[in-house]
Amino acid sequence: MRSRVLVTTQYNAGMQPDAEVTEVNSVAQLQAIIDQLESRMRKLESSEKKVQLATDTPVTPDPPTEDGDKKATEGSESDSDGTVKVKYETMRQTSTGGYAKEDGRPPGEADMEREAASGDVLTFTAYKSKEGNLEKVMIKIHSIILRNFIREIMQPVLEHENVKIWKDAQVTIQTNNVLVLHAWDDLKAAAISDDGTPQARAELTCFLDNIEKYEAETIEARELAKKERQVTYAKMWTLFPLGSEVVAFPFKDSPQIFTIYRHGPKADGFSFQCWAYDWDGEKLVRHSYEFDVPSFQGLKKVEELPCYPIDFYNSNGEGPQQLRKMLYERGKRFKEYCAIPGSERQILTANEFTLLRDSFDGPRVTKSEASIAQAMTDETSNSGVSVILDPLLYKRYAPGACLHLGHKTPTPRRSCECRLCLINGKRKEWEDHFKSTKGDPEDLSTEDAELNEIFYSQLPPRVLGYVLDRKGWGQMHVDSIKKESSVGKDKSWEELSLEKEHKENIRNMVSKHFERATSATNDGKRIHDLIPGKGDGLVILLHGIPGVGKTMTAEALAREMRRRLLRIDAADFQYNNPSQVSLVFKKFFHLAHSWGAILLLDEADVFLQLRRRAELEQNALVSDNAVQSRINYAVRFPNSFDMDSISKIWKTFMDQLNDDNCRPHDRSNIEYYFKTAGSVLQANKFTGRDIRNIFITAQLLDYPWLTFGNLMKVINSTSKFRSDLAKTSQQQEMANAVTDHDRV
DSSP 416-466: P-SHHHHTTTHHHHHHHHHHSTT--GGGS-GGGHHHHHHHHTTS-SEEEEE
Does one domain contain both 168 and 71? Answer: yes
Indicate whether 683 belongs to any domain: yes
Does one domain contain both 579 and 453? Answer: no
Taking Cα atoms as reference points, which of 272, 270, 266, 278 lies closest to residue 309?
Answer: 272
Per-residue pLDDT band for 9 (boundaries 50, 70, 90) equals very low
**Rounded Cα distance, 6 and 116, in Å:** 10
Does one domain contain both 626 and 666? Answer: no
Residue 103: give the domain boundaries: 1-214
Please give the pLDDT value at position 559: 87
Indicate whether 246 belongs to any domain: yes
pLDDT in tens, 268-294: 899 999 999 999 988 899 999 999 999
Please give the pLDDT value at position 234: 95
CA angle (77, 153, 321) in 5-degree steps: 155
Does one domain contain both 623 and 507? Answer: yes
Q: Residue 91: CA atoms inside 13 Å, Cβ hemisphere, count?
A: 13
Average pLDDT, the chain: 80
pLDDT in tens, 14-58: 333 343 344 445 555 666 666 666 655 555 544 433 333 333 333
Indicate whether 114 belongs to any domain: yes
pLDDT in tens, 456-482: 999 999 999 999 988 899 999 999 999
Please give the pLDDT value at position 522: 55
**Rounded Cα distance, 705 and 41, in Å:** 102
| pLDDT of residue 623 exceeding 60 | no
Q: In the predicted model, what is the mean pLDDT of residues 635-661?
A: 87
Per-residue pLDDT band for 375 (boundaries 50, 70, 90) equals confident
Does one domain contain both 268 and 391? Answer: no
Give percent of the chain with pLDDT exceeding 90.
41
**Rounded Cα distance, 56 and 25, in Å:** 36
Indicate whether 486 belongs to any domain: no
- Of 283, 318, 353, which residue constitutes the final position of a domain? 318
**Is-contact 687 548, C-beta < 8 A?**
yes
pLDDT in tens, 681-698: 888 888 888 999 999 999
Indicate whether 663 belongs to any domain: yes
**Rounded Cα distance, 160 and 262, in Å:** 10
Q: Which of 268-282, 564-578, 603-617 has the lowest mean pLDDT?
A: 603-617
Q: Which contacts (CB < 8 Å, 24+ apart) does range 62-71 have? A: 62/197, 62/198, 62/199
Indicate whether 433 belongs to any domain: no
pLDDT in tens, 673-684: 999 988 888 888
pLDDT in tens, 139-148: 999 999 999 9
- Of 300, 318, 336, which residue constitutes the final position of a domain? 318
- DSSP string over 705-720: ---HHHHHHHHHHHHH
| pLDDT of residue 12 exceeding 60 | no
Does one domain contain both 392 and 378? Answer: yes
| pLDDT of residue 662 exceeding 60 | yes
Q: Which residues contact 82 (CB under 8 A, 6 or more apart)?
A: 12, 13, 51, 52, 53, 59, 61, 198, 199, 202
Does one domain contain both 621 and 717? Answer: no
Helix 320-338, helix 449-456: angle, nearest 10? 70
Helix 550-561, helix 500-518: angle, nearest 10? 50
Does one domain contain both 342 and 469? Answer: yes
Q: Residue 561: CA atoms inside 13 Å, Cβ hemisphere, count?
A: 26
Indicate whether 162 belongs to any domain: yes
Please give the pLDDT value at position 614: 38
Taking Cα atoms as reference points, which of 385, 354, 384, 352 lies closest to residue 372?
Answer: 354
Per-residue pLDDT band for 393 (boundaries 50, 70, 90) equals very high
Does one domain contain both 647 and 632? Answer: no
**pTM as predicted:** 0.76
Which is more confident, 414 or 157?
157
Three-state DSSP state, 593: helix
Please give the pLDDT value at position 496: 80
Does one domain contain both 592 and 618? Answer: yes
Does one domain contain both 66 and 188? Answer: yes
Give percent of the chain with pLDDT exceeding 70.
75
> How many domains is the chain partitioned into structurally?
5
- Of 214, 241, 256, which residue constitutes the final position of a domain? 214
Which is more confident, 205 or 16?
205
DSSP 8-state code for residue 51: P
Quick count: other Cβ atoms within 10 Å of Cβ 495? Answer: 14
Which is more confident, 20 or 528?
528
**Rounded Cα distance, 214 and 134, in Å:** 10
Indicate whether 275 belongs to any domain: yes
Q: Residue 52: CA atoms inside 13 Å, Cβ hemisphere, count?
A: 13
pLDDT in tens, 321-339: 999 999 999 999 999 888 7
Three-state DSSP state, 373: helix
Please give the pLDDT value at position 206: 95
Please give the pLDDT value at position 668: 96
Does one domain contain both 265 and 311? Answer: yes
